[in-house]
Amino acid sequence: MLRYLVATFTMLTVMVSNAYAIPAFARQMGVSCSACHSANGYDTLNRFGRDFKASGYTMVGGEKTIGGGESLGDGLASIPSALNMSVVAGTNIDSGTGSTGTTVATNTFGMFLGGRISNNVGAFVELGYNSGSAVSDTNQSDHFSLANLVIPITYKMGDNTYGVVPYSTDGHTATASEFYDNGGTGAISHVGARDAYGAKGLSFYVYNQDYFVNYVTWSNGNKSGSEVKLANYFRVAYTPQIGNWDLEIGAQYMTGNTNDADGNGFIIPNTTKTTDAYVIDAQALGTLGKFPVDLGMSYARAKYDANSLFTTNTDGQDGTSLVLDAKLGVIPKVLIAMINFSHDDHAQASNDKVNTTHLACRYFIAENVKFEPYYDIISGHAASADNVDTYGLAFEVAF
């Protein structure tokens, strides 16, 4: 294991998740990344961060703009004066316990370009590289690809912001306009509703600091294809501020049929997959004394169907998952203790009940340099994991 730990610090690539801080956005606003994210890291957006995303990445702070006219809203374009580009790179090393343990190293690299295009139009573009597994790999071996292309078009009226977002993503259906996306650690990913082959579609939302409503029409796969079938995603959330606690309680619902996709994200013509699933979630960001606390809960159920995109177990039962998540800033913005517990029942292809307790310690060497050892305790009857606990190390840098 030691040689892999040493390799962590000699590689320029680290694990890139679906939840990260983008320094280019911070430069556009003239603030630190922690201004938009939880004090316990980059998994969640705070109230200000959600405002920024709802604006379509168009809000400007310290960075000057070019184009336009005498005022910020003049002209068809008023882009930031500096090239809003960021790089996120990392490595993630997993090793199982016991004689069946296998060490797997994954290296990734992402380049991001985004921010303001005009007063009402923004952009977020991600070009990613993934080296795949050091042991075996079938779908992600050494390649660059367009991971995200998001073009939000927004209009603010009173306290509400209205958005239309054409997008293509390698992540979850609602990635383009989800304000509580937690990087795939929630229950929605456990039942397979965060499809591995991405999605593309058109999102519509109404955002207010106290609530938001989102509808997405989308297709499975993020590559071009013929005979595209569009499914539906609905999202509602109530987001009050009570004292020093930023709260959320919401629901997500997926329905309709879409295409199957191959391992490279290309739509397979003349195929039909059902998408019946729902999620109930809640989140609380606040402080206990001087210590920042993040709490999260999500429960997901995906309806079994022989043609389900999500639940493909052979027992013919609905797939369910309950996820509980907690983070405590032992040293605020520097050292964070984390625990994530999930109970999965017939989720995705598994026919059994699986409990996973994820223990981690997140240490920020600098604001955008993260070092994170972790240990996963797996119990129950895991059809694919063979009850093997795993431990590992993640290292990530962004600039």
Chain centroid offset of residue 184 CA: 5
Q: Where are the domains of the chain?
A: 2-398
Task: Please give the structure tokens belonging to residue 165.
Answer: 């977002």
Q: How far apart are CA 327 and CA 347, in angstroms?
A: 25
Q: Which residue stretches of the chain are H helix? A: 2-10, 23-29, 47-54, 187-190
How many whole angstroms separate alpha carbon 91 and alpha carbon 336?
Answer: 20
Mean pLDDT (the chain) is 81
The residues pairing with 391 across neighbouring beta strands, listed in sequence order, are: 95, 375
How do residues 95-141 score in pLDDT, each as one tens digit? 876 545 566 777 778 888 888 888 899 999 988 775 544 333 334 44
Q: Cα separation of 38 and 44, whole Å?
A: 6
What is the mean pLDDT of the segment spanning 251-262? 90
Would you give the DSSP letter of residue 230?
-
Please tell me the predicted confidence (pLDDT) of residue 143. Answer: 59
Per DSSP bridges, beta strands 267-274 and 85-96 are: unpaired
Residue of higher predicted confidence among 383 and 174: 174
Tens-digit pLDDT profile for residues 29-61: 888 888 888 888 877 899 999 999 999 998 887
**pLDDT given at position 72:** 47
CB 79 within 8 A of CB 101: no
Q: What are the CA-CA distances from residue 21 to residues 33, 192, 260, 370 (Å)?
A: 6, 25, 31, 11
114, two tokens: 């985004």
Do β-strands 257-261 and 267-274 pair in parallel, antiparallel, or remain unpaired? antiparallel
- In the predicted model, is pLDDT for residue 15 greater than 60? no
Cβ neighbours of residue 310 under 8 Å, at least 6 residues apart?
191, 192, 193, 195, 275, 277, 302, 319, 348
Question: Which of 309 and 164 is assigned the larger pLDDT?
Answer: 164
Q: What is the pLDDT of residues 279-304, one digit of tens each?
A: 999 999 999 999 999 999 999 999 98
> Residue 382 pLDDT > 80, yes or no?
no
* Predicted pLDDT at 233: 93
pLDDT at 70: 45
Beta strands in 332-398 (DSSP E): 335-345, 353-366, 369-380, 390-398
pLDDT of residue 376: 92
Name the architecture of domain 2-398. Answer: Beta Barrel (2.40)
pLDDT of residue 144 exceeding 80: no
DSSP 8: H
Residues 6+ apart with CB under 8 A from 301: 191, 277, 278, 318, 319, 320
d(CA 252, CA 278): 5
Nearest to 340 by CA among 322, 324, 317, 319: 324
Distance in angstroms (rounded) separating the CA atoms of residues 396 and 398? 7
Q: What is the pLDDT of residues 147-167, one digit of tens each?
A: 889 999 999 999 999 999 999
pTM: predicted TM-score of the whole model, two decimal places: 0.85
Q: Bridge partners of 253?
A: 234, 278
pLDDT value at residue 136: 37
Q: Do strands 291-302 and 277-288 pair parallel, antiparallel, or not at all (unpaired)?
A: antiparallel
